[in-house]
């Protein structure tokens, strides 16, 4: 049976943040890199929340692997848009917290 590729976003936010924090001292990290890592983490977090919310809705019998795959892509894009809007502010709070410590 044909398998669809899994969304890379699921781990990319945490991996990006983890690699940046391991490779650099936060105090020496450029502000842009730290903020980008924080935004990646917020995007990952929001995507996980959206996926958890989606699981609470009963599945239609018409859903298949393709619909799930494109649904994941849609959730990823929603997450990116929410993060870029700055309305939640998780990335900003995380950034400020890391800069203080």
Q: What is the average pLDDT value for the chain, to the nearest integer?
A: 82
- What local confidence, expressed as pLDDT, does residue 4 receive? 42
User: Would you list the DSSP string of the chain?
Assistant: ---PPPPTHHHHHHHHHHHHHHHS-TTTS-HHHHHHHHHHHHHHHHHHHHHHHHTTSPPPTT--HHHHHHHHHHHHHHHHHHHHHTSS-HHHHHHHHHHH-
Give per-residue pLDDT as tens, 23-72.
656 667 788 988 999 999 999 999 999 999 998 988 877 778 888 899 99
Give the pTM: 0.72
Sequence spans of domains, the chain? 9-100
| Predicted pLDDT of residue 3 | 46
pLDDT at site 2: 40
Find the mean pLDDT for residues 78-99.
95
Token pair 């400020």: residue = 96
């Amino acid at each position: 049976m044909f398998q669809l590729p899994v969304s890379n976003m699921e781990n990319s936010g945490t991996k990006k943040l983890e690699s940046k924090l391991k490779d650099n001292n936060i105090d020496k990290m450029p502000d842009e890199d730290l903020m980008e890592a924080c935004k990646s983490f917020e995007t990952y977090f929001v995507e996980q929340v959206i996926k958890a919310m989606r699981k609470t809705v009963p599945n239609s019998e018409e859903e298949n692997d393709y619909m799930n795959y494109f649904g994941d892509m849609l959730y990823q894009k929603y997450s990116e848009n929410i993060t870029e809007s700055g309305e939640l502010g998780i990335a900003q709070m995380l950034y400020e917290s890391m800069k203080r410590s």
